[in-house]
A and B are shown apart, each in its own frame.
Chain A
Amino acid sequence: GAGVSQSPSNKVTEKGKDVELRCDPISGHTALYWYRQSLGQGLEFLIYFQGNSAPDKSGLPSDRFSAERTGGSVSTLTIQRTQQEDSAVYLCASSLTGTGGNTLTEAFFGQGTRLTVV
């Protein structure tokens, strides 16, 4: 596709339910990132994929959070037993590469999934 696509754009769920957020990166981009952004706050790093492997999962807030990437393309972020503090916008970004000192590492963001846990 032309850009990074995330679905759903909005999700309202009941506390305790599981949710799955999807990210379709730009075709050919090997690096994929997930961030969480609460209202008026910065971008909290969650996890980073280089191809299908995740060199860094250190940002996942708890074991209720997991992510996978298949075929070096689509990624899903799963939140189990959602809590109200999970409410935020979840942003996905992709870049041509994750390493190297040049602008090929520019990250392109999707519009995000706004998650509301009630």
Chain B
Amino acid sequence: GQSLEQPSEVTAVEGAIVQINCTYQTSGFYGLSWYQQHDGGAPTFLSYNALDGLEETGRFSSFLSRSDSYGYLLLQELQMKDSASYFCAVRIYNQGGKLIFGQGTELSVKP
């Protein structure tokens, strides 16, 4: 089967840097995505790694290493508004593009 593992929660202070890891067990996928969900809101797309390496989008960066079955989301210069749940996701090759998500990491940013 396929599964993605994430820490359930992370706490950090404003201005700090935090890394949210995602390890996966899946036979083949198109790429690793990250989504953000605020309480009561819909998940929104943050970033996508099709290839190994680092992708940077403003304060957020995402990394993928297929050989290590591992990826992470890096959030810099944390702000209170970054408090949310963060999900990694993959789209499976041999299931027509089925998109599956990890269980999510709840990030709490403290002043």
A positions within 8 Å CB-CB of B: 31, 33, 35, 40-43, 45, 48, 50, 55-56, 91, 93, 95, 97-103, 105-112
Contacts and interface: CB of A to CB of B under 8 A. Distances in A.
Cβ-closest 3 pairs across A and B:
A55-B96, A98-B97, A42-B103
5 contacts: A98-B96, A99-B97, A100-B30, A100-B97, A109-B43
Interface of B: 30-31, 33, 35, 41-45, 48, 50, 87, 89, 91, 95-104, 106
Contacts, number: 79
Contacts of B41: 111
Contacts of B106: 40
Contacts of B33: 106-107
Contact of B43 (A43, A95, A98): A43
Count chain B CB atoms within 10 A of each CB in A40, A45, A98 and give the residue with the most: A98
Given A43-B87, A48-B99, A98-B96, A105 B30 contact: yes
Contacts of A41: 103-104
A33 B42 contact: no
A68 B103 CA distance: 26
B99 A109 contact: no
